[in-house]
């Protein structure tokens, strides 16, 4: 692990607050990436023992068991936990880690879209990193900067409008990454991934602000029941 003090600097925090995401270059070391690659492979193989990945259907699993100790520890890693507390407040909940074998494009969406009532109640962030080089044409995340700030009827109208536009025609901003780079984003922002080859290997770490209302608690429980 890196020796530099964890956390976002003032510029990164301002960029995140304004646009809804930030790039954290080189957050994971080469040695750590070797661990992640092994756990990614073994974790997904354990989750799909009868369905070896063949590139036709994507696979996803949580990474929080004895086969994936490095993944399972990431929510407690100060490099992830400290920025989460800077962005969400000191009282945060690690919602877990996950790994994918992805197939095809990921259409424009926000991660809070299926719980639309959560936008004003619950705040959350996600760390996203690839185990392969990701460019604008090979599956890098792309964002609609500032869309995390939309609320109410404006948010509903934007969601309806963007759904009518072909994904590749939406003028979003892509964030290319090298292995070891991590992107953190507000789960309310619209994002997509286009052009990636079948079998690309994205990973995620997610946090929520600890809810302080009955509605917020129930929304998070609903998420957990998935």
Question: Can you give the CATH number for the domain in which 111 is found?
Answer: 2.60.120.620
- How many angstroms separate the CA atoms of 152 and 81, rounded? 30
- How many angstroms separate the CA atoms of 59 and 201, rounded? 10
The radius of gyration of the chain's CA atoms, rounded to the nearest angstrom, is: 17
Under a CB-based contact definition with an 8 Å cutoff, are residues 191 and 109 in contact?
yes
User: Is residue 113 in a domain?
Assistant: yes
- How many angstroms separate the CA atoms of 158 and 17, rounded? 20
DSSP E strand boundaries for 2-64 = 21-24, 59-62
Q: Which of 207, 222, 214, 204 is nearest to 99 (CA)?
A: 204
Q: What was the pLDDT predicted at 1?
A: 46
In this model, does residue 2 exceed pLDDT 60? no
User: Is residue 195 in a domain?
Assistant: yes
Under a CB-based contact definition with an 8 Å cutoff, are residues 207 and 95 in contact?
yes
> Global pTM?
0.94
Under a CB-based contact definition with an 8 Å cutoff, are residues 117 and 225 in contact?
no
Domain hosting 146: range is 17-225
Paired tokens of 147:
């869309």
Confidence of residue 4 (pLDDT cuts 50, 70, 90): low
Domain count, the chain: 1
Kindly report, residue by residue over 105-151, the tens digit of the pLDDT.
999 999 987 777 788 888 999 999 999 999 999 999 999 999 999 99
Chain centroid, CA 131 distance in Å: 14
Kindly report, residue by residue over 53-111, the tens digit of the pLDDT.
999 999 999 998 889 999 999 999 999 999 999 999 999 999 889 999 999 999 999 99
CA distances from 83 to 76, 122, 205 (A): 11, 17, 12
Q: What was the pLDDT predicted at 97?
A: 96
User: Is residue 191 in a domain?
Assistant: yes
């Amino acid at each position: 692990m890196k020796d530099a003090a964890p956390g976002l600097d003032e510029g990164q925090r301002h960029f995140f607050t304004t646009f809804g995401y930030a790039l954290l270059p080189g957050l994971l070391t080469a040695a750590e990436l070797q661990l992640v690659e092994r756990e990614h492979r073994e974790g997904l193989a354990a989750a799909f023992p009868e369905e070896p990945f063949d590139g036709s259907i994507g696979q996803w699993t949580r990474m929080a068991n004895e086969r994936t100790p490095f993944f399972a520890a990431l929510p407690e890693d100060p490099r992830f936990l400290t920025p989460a507390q800077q962005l969400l407040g000191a009282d945060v909940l690690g919602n877990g880690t996950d790994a994918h074998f992805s197939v095809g494009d990921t259409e424009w969406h926000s991660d809070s879209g299926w719980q639309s009532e959560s936008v004003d109640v619950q705040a959350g962030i996600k760390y996203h990193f690839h185990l392969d080089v990701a460019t604008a044409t090979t599956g890098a995340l792309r964002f609609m900067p500032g869309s995390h700030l939309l609320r109410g009827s404006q948010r509903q109208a934007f969601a309806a409008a963007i759904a009518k536009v072909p994904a590749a025609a939406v003028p979003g901003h892509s964030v290319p990454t090298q292995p070891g780079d991590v992107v953190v984003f507000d789960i309310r922002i619209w994002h997509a991934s286009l052009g990636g080859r079948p079998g690309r290997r994205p990973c995620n770490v997610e946090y929520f602000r600890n809810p302080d209302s009955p509605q917020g608690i129930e929304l998070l429980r609903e998420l957990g029941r998935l």
